[in-house]
Structure 1
């Protein structure tokens, strides 16, 4: 079995894979050695991969290292089962790389646009020749709410929530509809442009904020909240066979 850990900006996701299937998944704000010890006790973990955007405690890493056969600390130089055409691979976010690998694994030899809605919204393009071509980075949902509050004197900090209104009749509602609808229009615009330029493009939507958008988009999309974990597991299996 594989232990897959994604340490992000705000939370850490921990998953156990049996082959290609997730059999256990949890999300924690702070990873503790007891979390790792519990998993290692419950499951026969053979290999492990960590994508460390945030900070993972040293004792957790050391326990994992000494408990598995293959350990991958994902880096820009880690071999991946995908050609990478990014001009500056050392600056490419590991989460962006992982979702690209995950989407390509699920649908190889297809044109794919992956939209990852988190702290930032990223758009990743993988072509039908199994090549990651690059993408775009845009402010995420919460980032936009915080920016409006931070850079203006009188606008309140609004918490995101689902809304179907076209416009607001008070300042809070105006911010809510402006940010969420604006992001929906942005996403739809990207989808339209890619479909006009590439044939049979598959659209994946993933990330922590997907439930604010998935029902509002008019385009046909695949929603996969575990796409990053699937990509990390694929990278781990690929390296375990080298």
Structure 2
């Protein structure tokens, strides 16, 4: 058994693997104020109903963009599964060349997404990860990570709109009846959902144009992340949704470091 944990700014996703198969998956708030003891109680509560004991685990791998949460959760995991906790970062073997100006500054989640995309869909590929920020990560035809783009996430965009206006409020992320909203709620939904789909397709189109000039050929476009299901149906360029991509990438990186 193996645990994969991806700690994002807003949510943490945990995957329980039996071999290469995900047998359970949980999505939690990242809880920046949680202590090591709180994480231990939480993890035991999640794992208890599965019937697996600490002795069943080979270890765990973790990616994080929130260092305080990573530190507390790592200590908790070490109590549960021993000292076999891999934190993805500089010095960890990923099997992927990182060809950017400063390889140490790229987020671990972006690296493991790219590793998984290359493994599952081949190279070249572009991964769009919908989270607090939306990231676009590019794997070239040689299978190397060459960078990408970062934009504010959909929820961040909604929060900015609401906080900067006096009369507008948060809305449910539901596709409106038409692009032309018949009321304020539908108008906000239209602007957010269709506008964000336009952002995604606009950035993807420019990335694909650049890759085409290098003779990249067919490029896999893969989406993951908590709100991918809201945006991808409105996108004209994303071909695949893979909700477990990051967890799969953590499993692959773990196996390369055994």
TM-score range, shorter chain: 0.7 to 0.9
One of 128, 134, 149 as aligned partner of 2:162: 149
| Count of residue correspondences | 239
- Whether the 8 Å contact between 2:127 and 2:221 is mirrored in structure 1 is yes
Q: Are the counterparts in 2 of residues 36 and 60 from structure 1 also a CA contact under 8 Å?
A: no
Query: In the TM superposition, what is the alpha-carbon distance from 1:161 to its structure 2 partner?
Result: 2.3
Structure 2 residue aligned with 1:48 = 60
Between Structure 1 and Structure 2, the one with more helix by share is 2
1:34 matches 2:45:
no
The answer to whether the Cα contact below 8 Å between 2:3 and 2:60 also exists between their aligned partners in 1 is yes
Report the CA distance between 1:48 and its aligned residue.
Answer: 1.1
1:164 deviates by 5.0
Q: 1:79 to 1:162 in 2, by over 3 A?
A: same
TM-score, normalising length: structure 1: 0.88
1:43-84 per-residue CA deviation (whole Å, 9 max, x = no partner) reads 511121122333438665335325346321222332211100
1:175 to 180, 183, 188: 188
Match of 1:124 in 2: 137
C-alpha distance in 2, partners of 1:125/1:211? 21
State the Cα deviation string for residues 184-239 of structure 1 (Å, max 9, x = none): 11222233334432410101011100111122223361110111111111111111
The C-alpha deviation readout for 1:2-44, integer Å capped at 9, x for no partner, is 2111122222221122222112212223562134345386151
| Correspondence for 2:224 among 191, 199, 206 | 206
TM-score in terms of structure 2 length: 0.83
**How far apart, in 2, do the equivalents of 1:53 and 1:194 lie?**
24
Larger CA deviation: 21-30 vs 131-140 = 21-30
Name the CA distance, whole Å, in 2 between partners of 1:121 and 1:57. Answer: 21
Q: Which runs of 5+ in 1 are unaligned?
A: none
Q: Is the 8 A contact 2:197 2:232 kept in 1?
A: no
Query: What SS class does the counterpart of residue 16 from structure 1 fall into?
Result: strand
Instruction: Give yes or no for contact 1:117–1:210 (8 Å, CA) kept in 2.
Output: yes
For residue 120 of structure 2, the aligned residue among 92, 106, 109 is 106
Partner residue, 1:227: 245
User: CA 1:33/1:227 → structure 2, altered by over 3 Å: closer, same or farther?
Assistant: same
